[in-house]
Amino acid sequence: MYVVFLALRYLRSRLVNFIAVGGVMVGVAVLIVVTGVMDGFREKVLEVLRGNLSDIVMTPMHAPGEPLPAYEEMDRRIRQDPRVETTSPQVEALVFYLYPTRHRGQLSVGAYSVQQMLAVGIDYEREKRVSKIADYLVAANDPARPFHSPRATTHYKEGSVMVSRTFAKRYLGLEREILLPESLLETDVGITFAYFDTQAEDPANASGGGLAATWNTYQLPISAVYDGQDTSLDAARIYFDKDVLRRLARIEDEYHRVRVKLKDPADAKQIKEDFKETFPFFFTKTWKDHRADYLRAVNNEKVLLAIVLSFIVLLGGFIILATLTLTVVEKTRDIGVLGALGATRGGIRALFVGNGLLIGIAGAILGVGLGALFQANVNGIKNFLADTMNVEIFPSDIYLFREIPTIWDWSTVAWIAGGSILMAFVAGLIPAIRAANMDPVRALRHE
Amino acid sequence: MSDPTREVGPKILLRARGVEKSYKVGGAKLEVLRGVDLDVREGEILAVLGKSGCGKSTLLHVLGWLDRADRGEIVYDGRDHAKLPASERAHLRNRTMGFVFQFYHLLGELTALENVLVPAMIRYRPGTFGAQKRELHDRAKALLAVVGLGHRMGHRPTQLSGGERQRVAIARSLMNQPRFLLCDEPTGNLDGRTAEDVRTLLWDLNARSEQTMIVVTHDAKMADQAHRTVHLVDGRICGGEEEAPLVQELEL
């Protein structure tokens, strides 16, 4: 009985115990927040990647001149596999985007900058069934037909484009994304297409030292704005209607990629292997392959950070060790008295181990609470830092996302809390054993 | 009030024979006890007189199994408990002995009442303690009332005077209804008046409940009032087996 009672009293009586509790608390909270953010980040990357791609992406690797199988034919053959739900074609072209140069937010008159962009041509009706494009639309003249522009029928006969929210923020001078997006539907963008004559006798020298190239610039109205949530991908990607892009870019191939939606995404890896056999003239990748290195790096970073931050918890352990060592010295006479009153060595040991455990348990509980609080408000804190001190702790151009994604995983939290309690136990054990081995007679004489 | 002149019973509660104990101080061997023979009879107050530093405390620690004798035997209730494992001796000490120290040795974090309860907390597991919490608290309160501190139960040791602390310590020593008390200079740290109060309290306890006590002291006045006095000289008991005056003047 005295073990619990005295352990609580000893804990309560000294300020330094609360410092030790604080140390464990901070360590636990930091570990929880960091693993929560890293896991959240990883999940978000996967989610966004899948939303922008599809379960499987196939790229034809036919030799020049060799005819590509017609899309309807490919679609039919792929869908023969009962695990496949549907497919969608895509064409791609590199284009150049000309935009007015800005200096510190001010337009520089007459100066233009050029940015290379990936123009992606899609069949929207098919595309919305393999990716999340429909969910990502944030503004459109007609959400059912995002490439429909009233102006395209009157002035701009060539067609229209769908740009990303990130693109608009970066190039169209919209500092605050909140101002989006309907105003953009009145805007248009200048896209330059380059055409290379690969059939020229000597393309490299065709026109005196340059490639045999010509180009055309089109002013195209924005008919829709999307938010693919992957800022690095979004910034350099413009969607076109597939046939519009083929005409403007003078693409002969009917498609450059076939994107496949599966009934069960878990089959992706197996189907990839099967398709390599069935369609030897296609590169077949799963959606996960596309950012495999990135995902591995994120995971690696998480493990590394967890290891580094574990040292904070370990530091908490050392505080407990120091505190209890002091307590044992300070309570030497108490130890002698308890011995005289009939406490066993085991009891004395349990008393001080209990003291350490109480610190560990209190620190872990408070740490979980603090971690939860911090994690729930991490974006508020991020925005506060950005607004008041102009410190951007999560720049969206590096980390892809505007909001810091987090995950509360109870098993990770339990591991962290359990680990720190175990550490408190071990830290308490050393002074406890010392206390238990004390000779009560000498302890009684201790002044 | 019981009869102050009552005869001490003949039953021997604790018997020590040839007890030796030495310490190593620096490199030298310091022989503290060199063959102590001693009988403690049930219900008596036995005073062990000796100069300071003669080994009185060591004798008390050895008799209370806090310390092991190098040689000799200490028989309690017919068994030599020195041969028991340490945890057994601890349990036995908790149930059969009460200690009163010169410097009180109360636990500073606890109130007077909680200090008195400590031996019971050591004795019982939390469940058992909880089940009889009321009785134990009543008993501790009663003991504090006996020592005259019924009104200061919630005070910490630092809020009590020396005499009051020693009274709390005496109440604590009685908590588990021990067979005998081992008192190490119980008045050694108190001024004359307070010392007298504590002495009176101890003698009254003996008179009331025939509580056996071994009192180690260098205070001759204390020895005068004991049933029996022995002297510890050069690590041996000598010239002390004479019967102490049985007539005591108690001022209660």
- Longest Cα–Cα distance in chain B: 54
Average pLDDT over residues A48-56: 80
Confirm or reject contact between A339 and chain B (CB < 8 A).
Answer: yes
Q: What are the angstrom distances between the C-alpha of B200 and each of A174, B197, B207?
A: 94, 5, 10
- Asked if residues B107 and B118 have their Cβ atoms less than 8 Å apart, the reply is yes
Average pLDDT over residues A190-195: 86
Q: Between A and B, how many residue pairs show a Cβ–Cβ distance under 8 A?
A: 74
| Dihedral angle computed from the Cα positions of residues A423, A428, A433 and A439, in that order, rounded to the nearest 10 degrees | 170
Chain A positions in Cβ-Cβ contact with residue B172 (cut-off 8 Å): 341
Residues linked to residue A221 through DSSP beta bridges, in sequence order: A188
Average pLDDT over residues A44-48: 81
Predicted pLDDT at A211:
61
Helix, strand, or coil (residue B237): strand
Helix, strand, or coil (residue B3): coil
Chain B positions in Cβ-Cβ contact with residue A336 (cut-off 8 Å): 105
**Pairwise CB contact (< 8 Å): A344 & B110:** no
**Pairwise CB contact (< 8 Å): A440 & B107:** no
Residue A440 to chain B, least CA–CA distance (Å): 7
**Pairwise CB contact (< 8 Å): B93 & A1:** no
Q: What is the mean pLDDT of chain B?
A: 83
The answer, yes or no, to whether residue B221 has pLDDT greater than 60, is yes
Q: How far apart are CA A364 and CA A415, in angstroms?
A: 11
Nearest to A341 among B114, B122, B128 (CB): B122
Predicted pLDDT at B244:
43
User: A178: Cβ–Cβ under 8 A, 6 or more apart, which residues?
Assistant: none
Chain A positions in Cβ-Cβ contact with residue B108 (cut-off 8 Å): 334
Average pLDDT over residues A382-397: 76
Q: What is the mean pLDDT of chain A?
A: 84
Q: How far apart are CA A339 and CA B180, in angstroms?
A: 17
**Pairwise CB contact (< 8 Å): A4 & B126:** yes
Highest mean pLDDT among A129-143, A174-188, B125-139: B125-139
Distance of CA A137 to the CA centre of its chain: 20
The two three-digit tokens of residue A126, written as one number:
């098919």
Predicted pLDDT at A69:
83
The answer, yes or no, to whether residue B3 has pLDDT greater than 60, is no
Chain A positions in Cβ-Cβ contact with residue B64 (cut-off 8 Å): 340
Average pLDDT over residues A169-178: 64
Confirm or reject contact between B95 and chain A (CB < 8 A).
Answer: yes
- Of the given ranges (A179-183, A327-331, A353-357, A417-421), which has the lowest mean pLDDT? A179-183
Average pLDDT over residues A377-382: 84
The answer, yes or no, to whether residue B246 has pLDDT greater than 60, is no
Chain A positions in Cβ-Cβ contact with residue B118 (cut-off 8 Å): 2, 338, 341
Nearest to B122 among A13, A342, A345 (CB): A342
Confirm or reject contact between B15 and chain A (CB < 8 A).
Answer: no
Task: Please tell me the class of the B43-66+85-238 domain.
Answer: alpha beta
Question: What are the sequence ranges of the domains in chain B?
Answer: 43-66+85-238
**Pairwise CB contact (< 8 Å): A1 & B126:** yes
Q: Count CB atoms within 10 A of the CB of residue A401.
A: 16
Nearest to B109 among A4, A13, A347 (CB): A13
Predicted pLDDT at A29:
93
Predicted pLDDT at A396:
66
Predicted pLDDT at A155:
62
Chain B from 104 to 163: CB within 8 A of any A CB:
105-110, 114, 118-126, 128-129
In chain A, whose CA is at the least distance from the CA of B57?
A: A441
Predicted pLDDT at A254:
82
Predicted pLDDT at A32:
92
Question: What are the sequence ranges of the domains in chain A?
Answer: 2-47+294-445, 62-280
Confirm or reject contact between A8 and chain B (CB < 8 A).
Answer: no
Confidence of residue A397 (pLDDT cuts 50, 70, 90): low
Chain B from 22 to 61: CB within 8 A of any A CB:
61
Residue B121 to chain A, least CA–CA distance (Å): 5
Q: Which amino acid, one-letter code, is at B183? A: C
Q: Count CB atoms within 10 A of the CB of residue A146.
A: 26
**Pairwise CB contact (< 8 Å): A345 & B91:** no
Predicted pLDDT at B239:
60
Nearest to B86 among A1, A341, A345 (CB): A345
Which has more confidence, A366 or A201? Answer: A366
Confidence of residue A418 (pLDDT cuts 50, 70, 90): very high
Confidence of residue B4 (pLDDT cuts 50, 70, 90): very low
Q: How far apart are CA B6 and CA A185, in angstroms?
A: 114
Confirm or reject contact between B84 and chain A (CB < 8 A).
Answer: no
The two three-digit tokens of residue B238, written as one number:
């000598």
- Asked if residues A424 and A315 have their Cβ atoms less than 8 Å apart, the reply is no
Q: How far apart are CA B191 and CA B203, in angstroms?
A: 18
The answer, yes or no, to whether residue B5 has pLDDT greater than 50, is no
Predicted pLDDT at A202:
61
Q: How far apart are CA A231 and CA A400, in angstroms?
A: 5
Confirm or reject contact between B172 and chain A (CB < 8 A).
Answer: yes
pLDDT tens digits, A345-374: 999 999 999 999 999 999 999 999 999 999
Q: What are the angstrom distances between the C-alpha of B60 and each of A174, A345, B64?
A: 89, 21, 6
Residue B126 to chain A, least CA–CA distance (Å): 4
Highest mean pLDDT among A21-35, A217-231, B214-228: A21-35
Chain A positions in Cβ-Cβ contact with residue B183 (cut-off 8 Å): none
Residue A17 to chain B, least CA–CA distance (Å): 15
Secondary structure tally for chain B: helices H, strands E:
8, 10
Q: What are the angstrom distances between the C-alpha of B123 and each of A129, A309, B166?
A: 74, 44, 22
**Pairwise CB contact (< 8 Å): B109 & A338:** no
Which has more confidence, B209 or B173? Answer: B173
Confidence of residue B64 (pLDDT cuts 50, 70, 90): confident
Residue % of chain B over a pLDDT of 90: 15
The answer, yes or no, to whether residue A408 has pLDDT greater than 80, is yes
Confirm or reject contact between B165 and chain A (CB < 8 A).
Answer: no
In chain A, whose CA is at the least distance from the CA of B176?
A: A341
pLDDT tens digits, B91-108: 888 998 899 988 889 998
Residue % of chain B over a pLDDT of 70: 90
Residue B148 to chain A, least CA–CA distance (Å): 22
| Structure ipTM | 0.86
pLDDT tens digits, A59-116: 888 666 667 888 888 899 998 989 999 999 999 999 999 887 766 666 666 778 888 9
In chain B, whose CA is at the least distance from the CA of A351?
A: B122
In chain A, whose CA is at the least distance from the CA of B88?
A: A344
Chain B positions in Cβ-Cβ contact with residue A337 (cut-off 8 Å): 101, 105-107
For the stretch A208-212, contacts whose Cβ atoms lie closer than 8 Å and that sit 24 or more positions apart, written own/partner, are none
| Dihedral angle computed from the Cα positions of residues B237, B243, B247 and B251, in that order, rounded to the nearest 10 degrees | 10
Residue A337 to chain B, least CA–CA distance (Å): 7
**Pairwise CB contact (< 8 Å): A341 & B95:** no
Confidence of residue B137 (pLDDT cuts 50, 70, 90): very high
